[in-house]
Amino acid sequence: MKRQGGDMTPRTVKAIAREISADWAKVSYAAAPYLDAMGDLNSVDDDYGYDSGRSVVRYFLSNASSYRGETARKLKAELRGMVG
């Protein structure tokens, strides 16, 4: 995703998690543990305990259906791009 200044370097998972936390007023109870875990990940290639970063992000996405709006679509698409 292209950011200000034309930087094409992918953002960290934790940066996206911070933006989601700031934007999503009432985080779903089912998505909350995965959003918290994403706050500790730099990349989907990192591990979180016994779980892979990819699985944490996938579980978040599957439990974040109530996160809606333009910002939500953008951020979830960015995460989907990371996990393939």
Domain count of the fold of the chain = 1
12-25 mean pLDDT: 98
pLDDT for res 3: 52
Range of the domain at 67: 4-83
pLDDT for res 2: 43
Query: Using CA atoms in the order 36, 41, 42, 43, what is the torsion angle rounded to 10 degrees?
Result: -120
Helix (H) or strand (E) holding 51: strand 51-52
Percentage, residues of the chain above pLDDT 70 = 90
Band the pLDDT of 37: cuts 50, 70, 90.
very high
> Is the pLDDT assigned to residue 12 strictly greater than 60?
yes
Give the span between the Cα atoms of 71 and 79, in whole angstroms.
12
pLDDT for res 46: 97
